[in-house]
């Protein structure tokens, strides 16, 4: 199924902002992935998007992580992030994508890191995945170092505040609640949601639930087939699916409307009514 409420032929109001989600199948060639992203970002920009979010592991994608991903890792000053910055600068957008960050040049682990590149090409923000995919027969922690628990990574574009989480983080409601409580009005969720029985049902249910319970827009950018389940979507703060894709590559666009968000939060002030705090749990 494909639904895309693209606002490309309308000018947004001052309290509105157009956002795009890119769904594609990254390969094991970072340069080819940059070339592919350039085309998708051009499409998003032509539709009016000012923020574009691409999948987890946009730099390098395999079904199972191993020594190959360690060998390809780069610092955030490396050629892949620099290339993302060039794309963001060339099209005048904020670009969010998943990278393979080097921990140490002679190390045997990486970080699963989201980066935000601004319209001037600079690194605006980064988020290192906290909840690693040690489930469904996978052990991401074999080669990935989890991110530290830090102040939620947010950035603001034209008065709209964005927060970030990554893939498996979706299964932990307190993580996204923490981002929303830090002021995020839109949560960006790059993912490589591995296909499997009931995985699409779980993905769509969780994406919508996280949007509803936190009264946020949620833009989820999955990899397309074969290594991702697809089903990228943008969901509004009431859980309504505003745009979605099947398992093929594509670009979704929709409009973030802060007036609508304020109305939803007025009718359903769940963030203001919450009674429980979120505390860090020490690793076992």
- Does residue 129 have an active-site annotation? yes
Active-site choice (56, 74, 102, 244): 56
Burial 12-46 (b: 16+ CB within 10 A, else e): eeeebbbbbbbbbbbeeebeebbebbeebbbbbbe
Closest by CA to 224, choosing from 32, 24, 3, is 24
Under a CB-based contact definition with an 8 Å cutoff, are residues 110 and 145 in contact? yes
56 a catalytic residue: yes
| 3-state DSSP assignment of residue 156 | strand
Identify the residue whose tokens are 């991110």.
147
Which strands form 154-157's sheet, in the order they lie side by side?
3-4, 241-244, 233-235, 217-222, 186-191, 160-164, 154-157
Among candidate residues 74, 102, 140, 167, the one labeled active-site is 167
- Give the angle subtended at the CA of 225 by the CAs of 220 and 228, to the nearest 5°: 45
DSSP 282: P
C-alpha distances (whole Å) from 284 to each of 150, 187, 278, 281 are 19, 29, 18, 9
Distance CA 120, CA 142 (A): 36
The catalytic position among 74, 101, 102, 129 is 129
What burial class does residue 262 get, using C-beta atoms within 10 Å of its C-beta: 0-12 exposed, 13-18 middle, 19+ buried?
Answer: middle
The residue length of the chain stands at: 284
Residue of 247, 143, 129 lying closest to 195 (CA atoms): 247
Catalytic annotation on 284?
Answer: no
**Catalytic site residues?**
56, 129, 167
């Amino acid at each position: 199924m494909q639904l895309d409420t693209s606002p490309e032929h309308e000018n947004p109001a001052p309290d509105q902002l157009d956002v795009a989600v890119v769904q594609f199948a990254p390969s094991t060639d970072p340069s080819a992935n940059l070339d592919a992203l350039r085309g998708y970002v051009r499409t998003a920009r032509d539709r009016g998007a000012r923020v574009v979010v691409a999948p987890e592991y946009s730099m390098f994608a395999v079904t199972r992580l191993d020594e190959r991903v360690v060998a390809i890792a780069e610092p955030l000053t490396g050629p892949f992030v620099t290339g993302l910055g060039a794309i963001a600068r060339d099209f005048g957008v904020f670009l969010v994508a998943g990278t393979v960050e080097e921990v140490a040049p002679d190390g045997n682990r990486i970080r699963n890191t989201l980066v935000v590149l601004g319209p001037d090409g600079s690194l605006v923000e980064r988020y290192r995945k906290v909840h690693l995919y040690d489930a469904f027969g996978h052990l991401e922690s074999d080669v990935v170092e989890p991110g530290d628990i830090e102040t939620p990574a947010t950035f603001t574009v034209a008065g709209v505040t964005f927060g970030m989480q990554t893939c498996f983080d979706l299964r932990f409601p307190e993580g996204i609640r923490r981002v929303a409580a830090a002021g995020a009005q839109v949560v960006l969720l790059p993912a490589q949601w591995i296909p499997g029985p009931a995985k699409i049902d779980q993905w769509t249910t969780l994406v919508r639930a996280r949007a509803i319970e936190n009264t946020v827009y949620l833009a989820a950018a999955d990899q397309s087939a074969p290594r991702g389940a697809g089903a990228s979507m943008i969901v509004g703060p009431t859980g309504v699916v505003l745009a979605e894709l099947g398992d093929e590559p594509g670009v979704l666009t929709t409009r973030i409307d802060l007036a609508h968000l304020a109305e939803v939060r007025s009718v359903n002030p769940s963030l203001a009514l919450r009674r429980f705090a979120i505390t860090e749990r020490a690793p076992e």
